[in-house]
Amino acid sequence: MEVLLFGIAKDIVGASVLAMESFEKRPDTVKELKQELERSFPDFGKLSSLAIAVNSEYAEEGTQLRSGDEIAIIPPVSGG
Amino acid sequence: MDNERYQRQLILKGFGATAQQKLANASVLVVGAGGLGVPMLTYLNAMGVGRIGILDGDTVSFSNLHRQVLYVESDVGLSKVDVAKEKLSAQNSNTVLEGYNYFLTKDNALETIAQFDIVVDASDNFPTRYLVNDACVLLKKPFVYGALHAFEGQVSVFNYQKGPTYRCLFPNMPKPDEVPDCNENGVLGILPGIVGNLQALETIKLITGVGEVLSGQLALFDGLGTVLRKIRFSAIPENLQITALRDNYELECAVAPVTSVTALEFQELLELGNPQVIDVRTLSEYEGQRLSVARHIPLTELEQRKDEIDVKRPVYFLCQSGIRSAKGISLLASYFPKATLINVTGGMNQLRSYAATH
């Protein structure tokens, strides 16, 4: 399982890819992934809209995560 | 139609005279004549879109030139809309160009957008992006979205044939301290060129029906890895059923309620006396254009340099649009609970005409 980071998420983590091993507990759902992100990087708690995609598909909080999934963390960006 | 000018498109299999005629009949409003708007305008105009609206209340500044390649050094200080109109009409005199020398607001959005078939969101801030979305949903107009962050870009087509909207992807407007903009964060000059051209391509496909419209999909461009990924997402039906614009797009963006004055009231204060003004923009923004009375303390240094401010007197906080200054006030409010900290709504954008003459 691999987490790709975009926009401000990349700046918060300081890398463009995050390995699942960096979490204390491996998240089973998108909701748990969000909680783990916030625990490891408190700045995620400030984001009011954060899109998460699993295998190139927009995911809901209840979406299950499986090994081998490609996850993308996509915050809104405003620049133009 | 100018057959010689469009000859390479007319002979192009899968495009041809039918698609070219659709371009000639189309009208597109480009919201923002900056980094994304410039490539957009240049190509839509060159390729033969019949009527193009250019909406921007800004003037050209030196810090625009590295990415807004329509403008040259001698344009600095001039209205973007006026300069763009002149250059685009020299590029293609067949196009009907409509200039709107103002920023999109709740009060002018519906009236302006109603005059066009398609809208392009080439703006640089969240309040405008959410306003474009809501106005287009109300008026049932498709709009082509593009946005940047550092070396990355996002592109999608929203509100197309009951497809998803911007709010289906990002339901709520971020608060001002969440996500930095290009003024604060920087942007590589070529990036808006690439993203704006992807938006232009989507606009052409939308008009002509050629190819597959990027609806229900978000394209993510990563300039450092040269990768284009696509994420699929669906419409949330209630986002398509809004019945009116929100009351205030700026308010939704404020961190906490702060005391504020309008740009007009602030100008009157400037005429009357010598208020204490703190400009929280970056050094390059401040050097580009400033009020003589303003003291410069960038937002990033505000907490550390807070003792330079005389909190026994009222303090007016100023930035480009009024968002970072509101953020500055909320940073300082806990240090100085008794101080009078006042935000200048609309910031330098609203004061621009005043600043130019003082």
In this structure, are residues B35 and B196 in contact, taking their beta carbons and an 8 Å threshold?
yes
Considering CB atoms only, which of B32, B174, B231 is closest to A80? B32
Within a domain: A66: yes
In three-state secondary structure terms, B183 is helix
CA-closest candidate to residue A18, choices A71, A79, A67: A71
pLDDT in tens, B171-219: 988 876 676 665 667 899 999 999 999 999 999 999 999 999 999 999 9
Kindly report the average pLDDT of chain A as a whole number: 91
* Among the ranges given (B143-147, B170-174, B228-232), the one the predictor scored with the smallest mean pLDDT: B170-174
The residue range of the domain holding A69 is 2-74
Mean pLDDT calculated for residue range B55-62 = 95
pLDDT of residue B69: 98
pLDDT band of residue B336 (cuts 50, 70, 90) is confident
Within a domain: A31: yes
Task: Determine phi and psi for A22, rounding to 5 degrees.
Answer: -75, -10
Within a domain: A80: no
**Percent of residues, chain A, with pLDDT higher than 90:** 76
Asked if the Cβ–Cβ distance from A79 to B230 is below 8 Å, we say no
Asked if the Cβ–Cβ distance from B220 to A57 is below 8 Å, we say no
Evaluate if residue B254 carries a pLDDT over 70: no
Q: Which residues pair with B316 in a beta bridge?
A: B277, B342
In three-state secondary structure terms, B345 is coil
Which tokens in the block code for residue B347?
A: 């910031």
Which tokens in the block code for residue B164?
A: 């998803």
pLDDT in tens, B109-140: 999 999 999 999 999 999 999 999 999 999 99
Residues 185-204 of B with CB under 8 A from A: 185, 187, 192
pLDDT of residue B253: 41
Question: How many Cβ atoms are within 10 Å of B220's Cβ, its own excluded?
Answer: 22
Within a domain: A79: no
**DSSP-based helix, strand, coil % in chain A, nearest 5:** 30, 25, 40
- Cα distance between residue B339 and residue B309, in whole Å: 10
Q: In sequence order, which residues have a C-beta less than 8 Å from that of residue B60 and are 6 or more positions away?
A: B68, B71, B75, B76, B77, B78, B79, B80, B83
Cβ contacts (< 8 Å) between B58 and chain A: which residues? none
Q: Is A14 on the interface with B (CB under 8 A)?
A: no
What would you report as the CA-atom Rg of chain B, rounded to the nearest whole angstrom? 21
- Cα–Cα distances (Å) from B313 to B276, B277, B310, B331, B336, in that order, read 7, 11, 6, 18, 12
Within a domain: A23: yes
**ipTM at complex level:** 0.94
pLDDT of residue B274: 87
Number of domains in chain A: 1
Q: Half-sphere exposure (CA, 13 Å, Cβ side) for B68? A: 27
Within a domain: A12: yes
Q: In sequence order, which residues have a C-beta less than 8 Å from that of residue B350 and are 6 or more positions away?
A: B262, B263, B322, B344
For residue A8, give the CATH number of its domain.
Answer: 3.10.20.30
Global pTM reads: 0.79
Amino acid identity of B10?
L
Within a domain: A16: yes
Q: Is A45 on the interface with B (CB under 8 A)?
A: no
Mean pLDDT calculated for residue range A73-79 = 94
Report the catalytic residues of B: 182, 319
* Among the ranges given (B139-148, B277-286, B324-333), the one the predictor scored with the smallest mean pLDDT: B324-333
Within a domain: A44: yes
